[in-house]
Chain A
Amino acid sequence: MSGYTEFHPRWYRQRMSTWWWLRRRSYLVFILRELSSVFVAWSVVYLLLLVNAVRLGDDRYREFLDWSARPWPLVLNVVSLAFVVFHAVTWLNLTPQAVAVRLRGKRVPRAWIAASAYLGWVVVSAFVLWLLVGA
């Protein structure tokens, strides 16, 4: 009975576990998506390092390539690639929820918005590939 009165009830406050994100798959996917941002950031840093090496001349560029071929940068880059793809795919899949487009007064179906986002991804990738290989 201690501490309880009819007008000031002791509310029980449920605490969230530190491991709440393991409770269901969607929470885990969300946390992985958040974590993927770290690898996206690393990809940007890696790209800047590459550009800088190219700027400093042939020798530095070769050194950078040799360094990139070592086991730990290689493993880091493979893991980063997986996370960057995961980040991109989940991002594009979520796009229709954030974008409401109307054409001739009718809401454009969500699948179309996602499809156009993927199409944009393919076009940009093809352009980059053309720059690297074709041009």
Chain B
Amino acid sequence: MADHITLQVTRYRPEQEAEPSVQEYEVPLRKDWAVLDGLNHVKDHLDGTLSYRWSCRMGICGSCGMTVNGEPKLTCATFLSDYAPGPVRVEPLRNFPVIRDLVVEIGDFMRKLVKVKPWIVREEERPLSAGEYLQTPAEMDEYKQFSMCINCMLCYSACPVYGLDPHFIGPAAIALAQRYNLDSRDQGSAERLDVLSEHDGVWGCTFVGECTRACPKDVDPAGAIQRYKVTAAMEAVKSFLMPRGAR
């Protein structure tokens, strides 16, 4: 195995250039080094001006999502040795505006996330003295898969629908809405219905399925969306048959 590998990193310095360019760096090729370790080596030893996001280095924080050789990846979980002898192309996540180098603007996602109320909504909160809301393991299993989402946005980067129509609320927001809709302690599904069942909600999805393939946590956002389409259709039928708020 060669002892170095080339990283071809997208640079974008808006104060200097109108379009991104590519810069090459030689970094040590070590068996236990992820792409993020290569970028950290560049930052620490070769070029301190390189900008990118990272935090936990263990696939939990969801900060280090980038496009590696054309695929949306968590760079902390993508090993350099898998791309040997290289070069390894590192670009910012697709479908998001680039602020600088590998840093993308995530405000759109954050605004959409809040719209689906990804928290437990109660019609009436119980007093603390009544104790916690209990749940059986089977009830937890209903939503557990969707609760694994780390908001890394790889699914948005993989989704051509979001790329073509930025109004689409997107895979992770819908999966997280489902995470709470399916939670036995939650009573907010009717509030989420308005956001999810509009044109830019679940119906914007054409089931390409790339979000599920890109997800590093096996959340299966495409499955969440299709399942919610069934729910939204049933609700539409119910509101048609019982128009006076009987649902």
Contacts and interface: CB of A to CB of B under 8 A. Distances in A.
A7 B107 CA distance: 15
B40 interface: no
A16 B20 contact: no
Interface string B89-111: 00010110111100001000000
Main secondary structure of the interface of A (DSSP, over half): loop
Nearest to A4: B15
Contacts of B160: 16, 20-21, 27
A: contact size bracket: 20 to 34
A109 B160 CA distance: 29
Contacts of B19: 12
Interface string A21-63: 1011011001000100000000000000000000000000000
Given A26-B209, A97-B226, 4 more contacts: A4-B14, A16-B160, A20-B164, A26-B210
B99 A11 contact: yes
A101 to B, nearest CB: 11
Contacts of A21: 160
A94 interface: yes
B230 A98 contact: yes
Interface in B190-211: 206-210
Interface of A: 1, 4, 9-14, 16, 20-21, 23-24, 26-27, 30, 34, 94, 97-100, 105, 107
A21 B97 CA distance: 21
A13 B19 CA distance: 9
Contacts of B230: 98-99
B212 interface: yes
